[in-house]
Structure 1
Amino acid sequence: MENIISLSGNVKYSITLDPGVWIFDDRRVDLLSFFDTDKEIHDALEEYTKSISKHWDREIMEGAIYPPTLKTEKKFEKEKVLNGTFGIPLKPFIQNAEPERDAATLIIVSEEEGEISMPLHEGMELVLGFSINGKPLKEDGPVYVYYGDGRNKDNPIKKVKALKIR
């Protein structure tokens, strides 16, 4: 149970976070490139349209059969997952916990640094790192906390035990 992190406090639902399953989550981000790229505002309809267009173009060019390039793409994705350095945005978890209207502060409880508090809107931009080179963070984890702008990407908050909203 030491790998489980609770998100509780002034929220409608207290939730537990299990970093061990995030490797399968589509929201995961590659931490090696995440802070180096410009953030774009994603439009779901536009992304869907682009993916359908890409699929349509592939069918036009290669036919509607299962092309061999897809097999190599899947193998590459598998290698990337097994060897990657990943994190996941905290925002969806905070939204699922449904902070109360008067909630204004996020507190990170860390064994190393004690309690670190920040405005909730800044906490929504945090990224929780959960693996380095394909390995879970067992020694000083279970997660590392990175600020959304990457200002602590070389020195994240480690040994996080809980997240509280007040």
Structure 2
Amino acid sequence: MENILLITGKVKFPITLDPGTWIFDDRRLDLTTYFSERKDSVNELEEYKKNVSKHWDREIMEGAIFPPTLKTEKKFEKEKVLTGTFGIPIKPFLDNSQPLSDAEIFVITSSNGNFELPLQDAYELILGFSNKGKPLTSDGPVYVYFGDGTNQENPIKNVTGFQIK
């Protein structure tokens, strides 16, 4: 239970977070490259269209059967999961908790003290949950990174929960 985190406070729905399951989540981010890549605003509809088009082109060129390249891609993805350093955006979890209209402050509760920031800034936070394929057990279960990567070298550690005030 020590790895379970809660989002509580001025929310319509308190949320329980289990970082151990995020390795299987498609929203996970590779933290070794995330902060160094240039961030362009991505139109989700355009990105979806590109992915569908790419899949369609592949089926036309290679047929609808699974070519051997897909097996090697799966192997590479499995190896990446076992050795990668990953995080996940907190935004979907905050959206699901539905903060109340008078909520203004986001508090990161840690054994090192509490860190407060405006709720709007909290939507950009990234929760790191693995380092080189291993869960963050000694000073985790998550590290909190600012969306712009300014605390990439020194993230907030020993997080025990989140509260919205």
Same fold (TM over 0.5): yes
4+ residue runs of structure 1 moved beyond 4 angstroms?
A: none
| CA–CA distance in structure 2, aligned partners of residues 25 and 96 of structure 1 | 16
Question: What is the number of residues matched between the two proteins?
Answer: 165
Unpaired segments of 5 or more residues in structure 2?
A: none
C-alpha deviations, 1:79-137, integer Å up to 9, x for none?
0011110000011111110000010110001112x011000111110000000000000
Instruction: Give the corresponding residue for 2:121.
Output: 122
CA positional deviation for 1:38: 1.7
Instruction: Give the corresponding residue for 1:32.
Output: 32
> What does 1:54-65 correspond to in 2, within 5 Å?
54-65=54-65
Instruction: Give the corresponding residue for 1:109.
Output: 109
1:46 aligns with 2:46: yes
CA positional deviation for 1:47: 1.6
Instruction: Give the corresponding residue for 2:9.
Output: 9
| CA–CA distance in structure 1, aligned partners of residues 63 and 162 of structure 2 | 50
Identity, % of aligned positions: 62
Instruction: Give the corresponding residue for 1:147.
Output: 146
| CA–CA distance in structure 2, aligned partners of residues 17 and 138 of structure 1 | 15
Instruction: Give the corresponding residue for 2:132.
Output: 133
CA positional deviation for 1:45: 2.0
CA positional deviation for 1:44: 2.5
| CA–CA distance in structure 2, aligned partners of residues 104 and 57 of structure 1 | 47
Unpaired segments of 5 or more residues in structure 1?
A: none
CA positional deviation for 1:51: 1.2
TM-score (norm 1): 0.96
Q: Provide the secondary structure at the position in 2 that maps to 1:107.
A: strand
CA positional deviation for 1:64: 2.8
Q: Provide the secondary structure at the position in 2 that maps to 1:151.
A: coil
CA positional deviation for 1:59: 2.3
CA positional deviation for 1:60: 2.8
| CA–CA distance in structure 1, aligned partners of residues 64 and 72 of structure 2 | 18
Residue type of the partner of 1:84? G
Quote the RMSD (CA, aligned, Å).
1.0
CA positional deviation for 1:49: 1.3
